[in-house]
Structure 1
Amino acid sequence: MTKLSVNINKIATLRNSRGGDNPNVVKAALDAERFGAEGITVHPRPDERHITYQDVLDLSEVVTTEFNIEGYPDERFMEIIKKVKPAQATLVPDPPTAITSNAGWDTVKHEGFLKEICEAIKAEGVRVSIFVDPDPQFVVGAKNCGADRIELYTEPYAANFHKGKEEAVSHYVAAAAKAQELGLGINAGHDLDLDNLKYLKEQLPQLDEVSIGHALVCDALYMGFENTIQLYLRQLK
């Protein structure tokens, strides 16, 4: 079964836009779990424009499903991982000024750096996932770096889904097959929604986890948080 990890960054963005503590990100995470989410994802950026360092600490005390912390593996990120010891650390190549993730790692070019990072994180007992484009060479590179999983960057799939879903998913099928061959777990995330999620799952039955935030929170504005999570879970099952 493919787990649904709810990314609550946008909850924090809404809170920060007004100040104070409404909506409360800890309550949102607990509610997401209560409504069926099988994981909570956060991406604490250096400028704390959504999830803050304190949020991560607070969430680590209460999340009972899989806690997944995404980020660029700089000194600050590594400090968070070592302190919190989440279930999973997802490494993304975003510079500090990036609005959102927009590319996967070149795991061949950056093998030395990523290998050292993977070793350090795994020494803390934390699973490592590397964010990659759907290219078998980068999947092989992730394996060589010591990753436990890959996370397939699905924005290109989502952007091309309505133009031709078979072509849009073809590279992901190849990348997932290579990952499975190498014994890597497979996650996916970015721009997945109620339109394109079910087909991705059908074509990649080996998916371990999807991380969804922006679309899910937007849908929840119209359909309610509990109902929306149930709708996403239905696409995966």
Structure 2
Amino acid sequence: MILDAARAAASKLFTAEFRTVFFKTIGITLLALAALWFGLHQAFDALALPWIDALLPGFPSWAGWLSLIAAILAGIGLALGLALLIAPVTAVIAGLFLDDVAELVERSDYPNDRPGRAVPTIPALIMSLKFFGIVVLGNLFALLLLLVPGVNIGAFFVVNGYLLGREFFEFAAMRFRTETEAKALRRKYAGTVFMAGLVIAAFLAVPLLNLLTPLFAAAMMVHLHKMVSVREGA
């Protein structure tokens, strides 16, 4: 069931409809990161550089060199920081388009079924921010376990498998059920949902491909929820 859902989701990733959603997501992400870069760069120029000049008032040439070095180091740090933020920020932005992905899957693969209800924009944004927050906290915990030999890779998969499986399955279920019903169904099939989350975590671990993780996860969980619903007779 899990592998069938994963294969069905993967087969859609590079279709024209999915590419459209992906390009919108990446475009907004890059604009957001560019705005963040500009804001942080301006803040550094306004705060750090005058502080360096004031620190060495009698040595303007030294202050100039220190300012230049500090600006270069800050630029490198910002670039590295923003590179690390691409995937999580993409996840937040993609959260606004998950219903588009779900509708594409439902329309193409389940045309005779009742269509799901889109999650309103504000709750969808809240869900995206919540997802971002718990994934960041979960991975900080996993990073702490890097100090413990033999468990670091396992920690990454366990933490992300649980969090990703839970959030994306509940998203797919809430298109057809209340939040309470979706959580109850997820708990009933906790093992299946966790194993599906491990597949998503493996997808997340692949550089560049991980930018597609939210779209892949949403499509996969739509399929998994449909399969679980058949078992439930719903």
Same-fold call, TM cutoff 0.5: no
Larger strand proportion, structure 1 or 2? 1
TM-score range, shorter chain: under 0.3
TM-score normalized by the length of structure 2: 0.25
Larger helix proportion, structure 1 or 2? 2
Q: Which of structures 1 and 2 has the bigger CA Rg?
A: 2
